[in-house]
């Protein structure tokens, strides 16, 4: 069964130049792709389109409502990713 990402999911990239990095899903665009951002290298204003086969879900952030309303900031994304990385 294929993983269908939802806004606010925290994922780890399994393939590509960003392998091993945590991101927050901003949207599922359909066709097997999701828009992701980490708030540092990939900003909310220019998210990366990533094949969901290359993503592994590791958690859920409390940002779902902010993401859906369009009010999420890069700082909030960075904080959510930092919590998953153990504060590093």
CATH of the domain at 28: 2.30.30.30
Query: What does the pLDDT look like over 14-70, one tens digit per residue?
Result: 999 999 999 999 999 989 999 999 999 999 999 999 999 999 999 999 999 999 998
3-state secondary structure of 39: coil
Q: What is the pTM of this model?
A: 0.91
Q: Could you list the residue range(s) of the whole structural domain that residue 19 is in?
A: 9-84
> Would you say residue 4 lies in a domain?
no
> Would you say residue 3 lies in a domain?
no
Helix, strand, coil abundance in the chain, percent, nearest 5: 25, 35, 45
Going by pLDDT thresholds of 50, 70 and 90, the confidence category of residue 87 is low
> Would you say residue 26 lies in a domain?
yes
User: What is the predicted pLDDT for the residue at 2?
Assistant: 76
CB 3 within 8 A of CB 50: no
> Would you say residue 2 lies in a domain?
no
> Would you say residue 72 lies in a domain?
yes
Q: Among residues 74, 26, 82, 85, which one has the least CA distance to residue 50? A: 26
> Would you say residue 25 lies in a domain?
yes
Number of domains into which the chain is organized? 1
């Amino acid at each position: 069964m294929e993983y269908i990402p939802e806004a606010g999911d925290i994922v780890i990239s399994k393939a590509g130049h960003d392998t091993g990095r945590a991101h927050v899903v901003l949207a599922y665009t359909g066709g097997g792709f999701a828009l992701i951002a980490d708030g540092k290298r990939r900003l909310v204003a220019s998210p990366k389109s990533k094949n969901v086969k290359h993503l592994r879900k590791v958690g859920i952030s409390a940002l779902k409502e902010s993401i859906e309303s369009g009010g999420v900031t890069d700082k909030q994304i960075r904080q959510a990713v930092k919590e998953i990385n153990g504060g590093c």
